[in-house]
Structures are given as structure tokens and as C-alpha cells.
Structure 1
């Protein structure tokens, strides 16, 4: 992990970071974050990241200063990565949050931010030859309300599901919504294939509005693939030909097993190369 972090434009050693007890992100989970791939001096899919972040800030009623722009945040990301000497390949976590003071009903907060970066190995970008082993998280149901699509700081359901995955020796856990439909994993959006059609849950089902999800759908449709957004209940899952997960860092990862049922990687190689053949 890089030794330097960026707090509101000031780069400090990680162990110098301090969090006031009345910080609203700490108290209420009032914040958002973007996990971005930084590769060869560039933020991958940066326009999609900034579009999502600023739309989400508006939805959470942040009062955004004029100088708090996409260009400013991009500059601060670059400064932080360069300070950590991780320009070639790294994972960047940008968290935007409400600062200190105030209760639930207080006036719209001004955004504060923290930027962290972490080294990556190039193999994480490749399609996996050995499929992921996963299972469906138990006794957890994600709400599919107006905030469900946000990549928010309130990640309790993902943390508990990840603990279940670790206890079961899974690589990841799948999460259901209040209706019992599968919507995503702890760190990724989910796709499945059936008879050469590619499916992914509707945003209205409650999944995160993933940047890679959006990019994969767009790229595949541009190249003539049939991509549909639909609900994913257990019966549909068990009848799928193949399953894969997507996020901004790991790109596309084949899921070989869900709760002891196996799925092939048929078609997933074609999907991966169709999306990333030029990147």
C-alpha cells in the first residue's frame, strides 16, 4: 500500500490522517467513493467515474463549490499516485464525504475528500483461467430504494457478506435484494449468459450503478451482442450457461461455481476480448 494519502488537497503520510469524532461520514456513512484503475499515467474510464460521482453528490444534496471540479479531482488523483510512485499500475480509492458537525437534518454539506492508492499486479486485468468460487449470502437482503445504485460509504451489507465468503472459503458472495433476487456480489456487478444472450440485473433491482457494468453493456451492444437487463432469481441463475462479474479494477472475472453448482466459461472469452481487445 502506498505510504501517502491526500486529504482535501494536502498530501500526508498515511499514519498522520486524523478523523474528528463528529465526522458525518463516520457517524452516518454520509459519503461516496470511486475505485479507479490508474494505468500508465491515466485514470481508466475517467469520464464514467466523474459522471457517476457528481450525479451521486447531487442526489445526496452536497453543496458543491465552484472549484470542486472533475479537473481538480483528477489533478489530485495524479499528484497522489505520483507521490507514491505508482503511475504504471495502481488502484485508486477516492472517497468524498460530508465533513464534521451537524445532525441528519442539517444544511447541505460541502464535500471533503480522501485519496488513497495501492499497487496492482498486471494479471488482475486478465480473464481468469481458474473460475471464482462463490455462494449466495444468507440472511442479508439489500434494499432496492432510491439510494441503492449509489457507491456509498455505507457498506455494512458488503462487509458482512464478505465475512460469510471468507468463512465458506469462497472468492466472493452474491447478494440478494428484498424480493430475493440476486443483484450483485460484494465487489462487483453480475452478468450471466443463456443461449448466446447476455443478461445483467436491472438498476431498479438495487445493484450498484457500476462503471464497468455500464462500459461492458455499451461495448457489447456496439459490437452486436444481445445484452438484456432483467431480474435474476435463483431458478434463472441455476439455468444459466455461464456467469461473470465485473468491476473497474478486475474487469471481467469468470464465476465457475455458485453454491456447489458449476458453470462453464463458454462465451466469456469472446466477451472479454470484445470489450478489451483495444485496451
Structure 2
């Protein structure tokens, strides 16, 4: 028997009592965007998930191929009637047993989906204000570059943003350099230069980050670079924008007293939608 919210119930009635993702954050995940029954950037998501499982020493099932991964996601999407536009999350977690030391490295997975409004990426030009979140820091290590189920910095940062009337917060690492935002990677435009922090600074190895870097390199007159960004650099920028697979590209309109334009972000969204329609 266990105590759940003040009620004594059978342990078998609460599936979380042995779930390692719940007990220890022993899980990794991918968030996907599906448009017209097609998973965008499928290969990038698949290989990042496989790499994440290897980093945390999970056994990869023999049947967990990219085709199987795609089939399982689209099965849920279709069952929920969300084929036009959907968000899906696949969470992979180590099977029950053990304390910090697991009894097995075999895994289970869970996929759930929600509907989205748009079937293409749309640039949101509404007021979007950010500031630094400095209560906790991102560490410069390999675990910071993958998506694990331990996201307490992102959770507490989101609460901080809400309490202070912000749309998002910028995370910094233990050397006080800019890493990313709460829900994605960060890009900065200075003149004709597009800059984003390198993965070695502790930022997520984002799938949309990869797409934006590739698209920007094809734009004539734009220099694309991965460089360390300090908080002081942000107030000298012409543009700031964040990227993730669900939103695409979100321009930041204000950081402290500095306001920004969004011309490159606007062009990149066009290029992004063109690249998707071609594939």
C-alpha cells in the first residue's frame, strides 16, 4: 500500500511508484512536429534520440529503427485525428527496478500527441520580451546538449518569467556566458553576422538550430558563426530570435531597454517553409 495525496491505495494503482523517469529523471525525449502525416526532420530527431540513449547508457532495442520510430508516432497521430498538424513527444525511459543503480538498461517508451493550428511556420511579430535567468546555471557538459526528463532549470525559469511579465528567459552557463532560452536555441544578429553559441557552451543540440544554420549559410552576404556570446553582447545586437521545432523561429522584440528588428528572422521563416515544401 502507498499514500497518494492523503489516500491509502494499492501500489498497483499508481504506475509512478517504480517509474524511473518519475523517480530519478532517468529518461530522454524528443518533441516532433508533424504536418500532413509527415514528421519534419525525422532523421535528425531519430539520430539525436539514439545518441541521447547511448549517452545515458540505455540499451537500444533491435527493432527501434527509424522506420519503426516513424510508424509508432504516426499511428498515434492518426488515431487521434491529428494528421494535418500535430506535436508529438516520445519519451524513452529505463525500465523499473533498482535505486540509483538500475537493475536493467532495457527501456520502454511513451508517445503522446496534441494538435497544432498551422500547417506551416508563421512568424509571430507580437511583442516578445526576455531577460536573463540567473537563479541556476547550465553546466558545460554533454548532458546539457541532450533532452533528458530533468528540466528543473527550464521549469523554474518559466515560473520566473511568468512572475515577471516576461515571454521567455535567457539561460547562462557557469562561466556566465549566454547558452540558450528556456524553450530553444538563441541566435543573435550583428550587422551581416549571424551568431549562435557553440554546443560546447552547454546549449541543446537543437534540430531547428541545425536547420537555421544550414539555411542561413545559403543567404548571400550573411556570415554564419558559432561563437561565445556574453550578456553584454545582447544589447549591441540588431536582432535576437529563438528557434525550436514547434515554433520554428520566434523573434525577440525586447531585452531590457534594447528593442530589436526581425528582418533576417522573417527571411529565414520563408526559407524554412520553402525547404519543407520541397522535401
For normalisation by structure 2, the TM-score amounts to 0.89
Deviation, structure 1 residue 268: 2.3
The aligned residue for residue 269 of structure 2 is 272
The aligned residue for residue 251 of structure 2 is 254
Query: Does the 8 Å contact 1:196/1:267 carry over to 2?
Result: no
- Tell me whether 45-54 or 139-148 shows the greater mean CA deviation: 139-148
Deviation, structure 1 residue 274: 2.8
Deviation, structure 1 residue 106: 3.3
Query: Does the 8 Å contact 2:84/2:119 carry over to 1?
Result: no
SS at match of 2:44: helix
Query: Does the 8 Å contact 1:20/1:100 carry over to 2?
Result: no
Deviation, structure 1 residue 247: 0.2
User: Among 225, 239, 245, which residue is 1:228 paired with?
Assistant: 225
Query: After the TM superposition, which residues 230-245 of structure 1 pair with which residues of structure 2 at under 5 Å, given as runs?
Result: 230-245=227-242
The aligned residue for residue 145 of structure 1 is 141
Counterparts in 2 of 1:124 and 1:173: CA distance versus 1, 3 Å: farther
Could you give the per-residue CA deviations for residues 91-145 of structure 1, whole angstroms, max 9, x where no partner exists? 1111111121112233551121111101111188201122421111131211111
Query: After the TM superposition, which residues 31-180 of structure 1 pair with which residues of structure 2 at under 5 Å, given as runs?
Result: 31-106=27-102, 109-122=105-118, 125-180=121-176
Query: Does the 8 Å contact 2:240/2:251 carry over to 1?
Result: yes
Gap regions ≥5 residues in structure 2: 1-12
For normalisation by structure 1, the TM-score amounts to 0.89
- Tell me whether 150-159 or 101-110 shows the greater mean CA deviation: 101-110
Greater Rg, structure 1 or structure 2? 2
Deviation, structure 1 residue 269: 1.7
Aligned residues: 263
The aligned residue for residue 205 of structure 1 is 201
User: Among 5, 14, 20, which residue is 2:16 paired with?
Assistant: 20
Counterparts in 2 of 1:24 and 1:127: CA distance versus 1, 3 Å: same
Runs of 4+ more than 4 Å apart: none
Counterparts of 1:215 and 1:278, CA distance in 2? 10
Deviation, structure 1 residue 182: 1.4
